[in-house]
Structure 1
Amino acid sequence: MRQALVIGGGPAGLMSAEALSAAGLAVTVAEKMPTMGRKVLMAGKSGLNLTKEEARDAFVAAFRADWLRAPLQAFGPSEVRAWTEALGISTFAGSTGRVFPVGMKASPLLRAWLARLDAAGVALRTRWDWQGWADGGDALFATPGGLQRVAADVTVLALGGASWPRLGSDGGWVRHVGPVAPFRPANCGFHVAWSHHMATHFGAPVKAVVLRAGAEESRGEIVLSRDGIEGGGIYALAHLLRDGVALRLDLLPNHTQADVAARLAGGKAGESLSNRLRKALRLDAAKRALVQECARPLPDDPQALAALLKDLPVPLGGPMDMARAISCAGGLRADALDAGLMLTARPGVFAAGEMLDWEAPTGGYLLTGCMATGLWAGRHAAAYGQSAG
Structure 2
Amino acid sequence: MTGALVIGAGPAGLMAAQELALAGHAVTLAEAKPSVARKFLMAGKSGLNLTHDAPMDKVLAAFGAAAPALRPMLDAFGPDQIRHWAEDLGQPLFTGSTGRVFPVAMKASPLLRAWLSRLDGLGVRIVTRWRWQGWDAAGAVLFDTPDGRQSLSPQVTILACGGASWARLGSDGAWAGHVPAPLLAPFEPANMGLCVDWSAPMARHFGSPLKGIALHAGDRISRGEIVISATGLEGGGLYALSAALRAGAALTLDLAPDLSEEQLRQRLSRPRGKASLSNHLRKTLKLDPAKQALLMEFGRPLPADLAPRLKALPIRHSGPRPMDEAISTAGGIRFEALDAGLMLLSRPGTFAAGEMLDWEAPTGGYLLTGCLATGHWAGRAAAAWLRPPG
**Superposition TM-score, scaled by structure 2 size:** 0.96
- Cα deviations by residue, 1:48-99 (Å, 9 ceiling, x for unpaired): 1111111123212321202121111111111001111111111111111111
Pair 1:159 & 2:156 matched: no
The code of the aligned residue for 1:157 comes to L
1:249 CA displacement:
1.0
* 1:115 aligned to which of 91, 108, 117: 117
Within-5 A mapping of 1:335-350: 335-350=336-351
Runs of 5+ unmatched residues, structure 1: none
- Alpha-carbon distance between aligned partners in 2 of 1:135 and 1:291, rounded to the nearest angstrom: 61
Match of 1:85 in 2: 87
Q: Is the 8 A contact 1:267 1:280 kept in 2?
A: no
- Alpha-carbon distance between aligned partners in 1 of 2:137 and 2:11, rounded to the nearest angstrom: 30
- Alpha-carbon distance between aligned partners in 2 of 1:48 and 1:22, rounded to the nearest angstrom: 25
Secondary structure (helix, strand or coil) at the match of 2:388 reads: helix
- Alpha-carbon distance between aligned partners in 1 of 2:49 and 2:138, rounded to the nearest angstrom: 42
Q: Is the 8 A contact 2:44 2:108 kept in 1?
A: yes
- Cα deviations by residue, 1:116-150 (Å, 9 ceiling, x for unpaired): 10111110101111111123111111111111111
Match of 1:218 in 2: 222
Pair 1:181 & 2:181 matched: no
* 1:190 aligned to which of 191, 194, 199: 194
- Alpha-carbon distance between aligned partners in 2 of 1:27 and 1:54, rounded to the nearest angstrom: 34
1:270 CA displacement:
4.6
The code of the aligned residue for 1:329 comes to A
The code of the aligned residue for 1:357 comes to D
The code of the aligned residue for 2:160 comes to A
Q: Is the 8 A contact 1:9 1:30 kept in 2?
A: yes
Q: Is the 8 A contact 1:60 1:73 kept in 2?
A: no
Match of 1:143 in 2: 145
1:272 CA displacement:
2.9
Q: Is the 8 A contact 2:298 2:316 kept in 1?
A: yes
- Alpha-carbon distance between aligned partners in 2 of 1:90 and 1:216, rounded to the nearest angstrom: 34
The code of the aligned residue for 2:96 comes to G
The code of the aligned residue for 2:297 comes to E
Q: Is the 8 A contact 1:203 1:223 kept in 2?
A: yes
* Dislocated runs of 4+, deviation >6 Å: none
Secondary structure (helix, strand or coil) at the match of 1:141 reads: strand
1:357 CA displacement:
0.2
Pair 1:374 & 2:375 matched: yes
Secondary structure (helix, strand or coil) at the match of 2:285 reads: coil
Runs of 5+ unmatched residues, structure 2: none
Quick check: 188-197 or 168-177, which moved more? 188-197
- When residues 61 and 283 of structure 1 are mapped into structure 2, their CA distance, relative to the original with a 3 A threshold, is closer
Match of 1:322 in 2: 323
- Alpha-carbon distance between aligned partners in 2 of 1:312 and 1:345, rounded to the nearest angstrom: 49
- Cα deviations by residue, 1:336-370 (Å, 9 ceiling, x for unpaired): 11110000110000000000000111111110110
- Cα deviations by residue, 1:5-25 (Å, 9 ceiling, x for unpaired): 000000100111011111111
Q: Is the 8 A contact 2:2 2:152 kept in 1?
A: no
Pair 1:255 & 2:259 matched: yes
- Cα deviations by residue, 1:297-340 (Å, 9 ceiling, x for unpaired): 112x3xx2112111111112111111111111000011111110
Secondary structure (helix, strand or coil) at the match of 1:249 reads: strand
- Alpha-carbon distance between aligned partners in 2 of 1:272 and 1:153, rounded to the nearest angstrom: 74
- Cα deviations by residue, 1:161-188 (Å, 9 ceiling, x for unpaired): 0011110011111111131100000111
Match of 2:130 in 1: 128
Match of 1:53 in 2: 53
1:232 CA displacement:
1.0
Q: Is the 8 A contact 1:267 1:276 kept in 2?
A: no
- Alpha-carbon distance between aligned partners in 1 of 2:388 and 2:381, rounded to the nearest angstrom: 11
- Alpha-carbon distance between aligned partners in 2 of 1:61 and 1:259, rounded to the nearest angstrom: 32
Secondary structure (helix, strand or coil) at the match of 1:208 reads: coil
Secondary structure (helix, strand or coil) at the match of 1:112 reads: helix
Q: Is the 8 A contact 1:52 1:364 kept in 2?
A: yes
- Alpha-carbon distance between aligned partners in 1 of 2:255 and 2:61, rounded to the nearest angstrom: 28
- Alpha-carbon distance between aligned partners in 2 of 1:313 and 1:153, rounded to the nearest angstrom: 55
* 1:234 aligned to which of 238, 260, 280: 238
Instruction: Give the RMSD, CA atoms, in angstroms.
Output: 1.4
**Superposition TM-score, scaled by structure 1 size:** 0.96
Quick check: 86-95 or 154-163, which moved more? 86-95
- Alpha-carbon distance between aligned partners in 2 of 1:282 and 1:98, rounded to the nearest angstrom: 28
- Alpha-carbon distance between aligned partners in 1 of 2:191 and 2:18, rounded to the nearest angstrom: 29
Within-5 A mapping of 1:17-32: 17-32=17-32
Question: What is the number of equivalent residue pairs in this alignment?
Answer: 386
Q: Is the 8 A contact 1:2 1:25 kept in 2?
A: no
- Alpha-carbon distance between aligned partners in 1 of 2:272 and 2:73, rounded to the nearest angstrom: 61
- When residues 238 and 267 of structure 1 are mapped into structure 2, their CA distance, relative to the original with a 3 A threshold, is farther
The code of the aligned residue for 1:387 comes to P
- Alpha-carbon distance between aligned partners in 1 of 2:148 and 2:7, rounded to the nearest angstrom: 17
- Alpha-carbon distance between aligned partners in 1 of 2:282 and 2:168, rounded to the nearest angstrom: 43
Q: Is the 8 A contact 1:5 1:154 kept in 2?
A: yes
Secondary structure (helix, strand or coil) at the match of 1:378 reads: helix
1:388 CA displacement:
6.5
- Alpha-carbon distance between aligned partners in 2 of 1:58 and 1:352, rounded to the nearest angstrom: 22
The code of the aligned residue for 2:276 comes to S
